[in-house]
Chain A
């Protein structure tokens, strides 16, 4: 580890802190309707789609609208990918995407996952990248934020009413938040050298005399939304390790910073919405504690390197001429600190963009992204999903605190009773159930075992990571699993769908039930949700729930692999 590496991590943390309030203020204006500079466009969309923007929807109506929108947009994408060969903006005559990949891709992008079992530059036409995949990059991000906003409204409502209007939240989030922010970020990327064109691919001769085809395309605009919307799907197969997407240290900083911008701002938005700004900061603090623990562990593990290399005489000590540590699978341009930071941030959030290959991390370094996903990606988290995941954990925290003292728990003036806890528990239990059932299925069937590139515990980690990634709607790959088969494409596609919608429904139910409750005044027995004690308890609940659920599987994967590595065995 170097001072320079720590400085860059601290600089990143300071930038996230600095942007939290300004972004939160902007989010308030987006979702309270006070921003009007695109009002004619907004009204036109409502009129065209027959939407009544004044309707205050119940949670069931809100959820139904969300599901119908997602179903229709997913089916349209499936058909468009299958018919890609007959559609325009396809200069390289890419054929239609095969059925299993079209299903997985449509599910994956609809759910903000962006798991890719294909190489973008050799599979997708420009039209598919820009119309189908980018459409979902924007709308799936807006859907995630809409759910968080709906939950915040449900908690803030003092005595009944709906949780807002899904269509309005979707349109305003896309129009006022993601489109303008991506426009600015794409220009910054272009200024730094990220390519943005419709040029034909370029064939060059390498220094060894071989021919190589360099892919071109509208990369900057796609990269902007993939980071800001925590989507993560790359234009290129190499994702953010590709020099045409991520050419400089500044594009690397902007990429990783953009992932946390909206999730951090949402904590401030939430505090303001529920009229308890300190609680918003308490959630931010809990997220930051977990982020700091993750990045420190990953950086330490990767900088420490592989003892087997050291035993064989490889110099793994950092010096002026040598980054030291474990550089396998990492971009030399970014080094260990920025690779550890990127891997931590992209899995804290549900982004999935990568600038290094997580499969090549040391067992403990690779454990960090895996655990981040399995904790529910609520460490700042995906846009919207991070905040609502953290709120569910806050509800469980006050419930547990209430059990300890024998009182009916309250959360921000709302009594937490059986129905709220039922919804919170559904939310918490579905996630590990889907991951563990799908991983266990793959671990016992020949079709599942055939996808592994490594044997032993590392092979289990590859499967566990894949199903954790899709169910958590992260989309990053451990890079060691061959997921291009009917078995994996179908199962991984289903994992994204269950991981998204089977959790959103009880979440919206929780919003609806809380909206119906009358607000009660705080009393001496109310558990305060703004103190360091609350932050510590919240972090403890998150870690314990995650550890109890996944520790056995992690023990058989990265933990045992680490112990065997110390004994000189690799997989």
Chain B
């Protein structure tokens, strides 16, 4: 039973990280560009 929990925890963590990749991409793309000389 605990094996399933640890496997689920591992899979869940990496799924979260794949979502985090998309989140970082969005966070970067929505950043404003304010350039000064």
**A residues neighboring B (CB under 8 Å):** 59-60, 63-64, 67-68, 70-71, 74-75, 78, 82, 99-100, 102-103, 106-107, 406-408, 415, 417-419, 422-423, 426, 490, 494, 497, 501-502, 505-506, 509, 513, 525
Contact = CB atoms under 8 A, between A and B. Distances in A.
B25 A78 contact: no
B25 A60 contact: yes
Contact of A406 (B9, B27, B32, B36): B36
Given A422-B27, A502-B17, A103 B6 contact: yes
Given A82-B3, A408-B36, A417 B10 contact: no
A494 B27 CA distance: 24
Interface in B1-36: 2-3, 6-7, 9-11, 13-14, 17-18, 20-22, 24-25, 27-29, 31-36
Given A71-B14, A502-B17, A60 B2 contact: no
Given A103-B6, A422-B28, A502-B20, 16 more contacts: A60-B21, A60-B25, A71-B10, A71-B11, A71-B14, A74-B10, A75-B7, A99-B3, A100-B6, A408-B36, A418-B31, A423-B24, A494-B9, A501-B17, A509-B21, A509-B25
Contacts of B37: 407-408, 525
A417 B24 contact: no
Contact of B34 (A59, A60, A417, A501): A417
Contact of A423 (B3, B9, B28): B28
Interface of B: 2-3, 6-7, 9-11, 13-14, 17-18, 20-22, 24-25, 27-29, 31-37
Q: Is the interface of A mostly helix, strand, loop or mixed?
A: helix
A107 B37 CA distance: 47
B18 A64 contact: yes
Contacts of B10: 71, 74-75, 78, 103, 106-107
A-B complex: 3 closest residue pairs judged by Cβ atoms: A418-B31, A419-B31, A71-B14
B2 A99 contact: yes
Contacts of A63: 21
Contacts of A75: 7, 10-11
B13 A419 contact: no
For the residues of B in contact with A, the DSSP-based class is helix
A75 B15 CA distance: 13
A418 B17 contact: no
B6 A417 contact: no
A290 B22 CA distance: 36
Contacts of A59: 25
Contact of A494 (B13, B17, B21, B25): B13
A381 B21 CA distance: 25
A82 B24 CA distance: 35
Contacts of A82: 3
B14 A67 contact: yes
A145 B33 CA distance: 31
A487 B10 CA distance: 16
Contacts of B32: 418
Contacts of A60: 21-22, 25
Nearest to B1: A99
Contact of A418 (B2, B20, B34, B36): B34
A338 B6 CA distance: 40
A417 B33 contact: yes
Q: Counting chain A CB atoms within 10 Å of each CB, which of B11, B18, B32 scores highest?
A: B18
Nearest to A426: B24
Nearest to A415: B35
A169 to B, nearest CB: 17
B36 A102 contact: no
Contacts of B21: 60, 63-64, 67, 505, 509
Q: Chain B CB within 10 Å — which of A64, A74, A417, A419 has the most?
A: A419
A422 to B, nearest CB: 6
Nearest to B14: A71
Contacts of A525: 37
B14 to A, nearest CB: 4
Nearest to B27: A422
A426 B20 CA distance: 11
A59 B20 CA distance: 13
A160 to B, nearest CB: 15
A505 B24 contact: yes
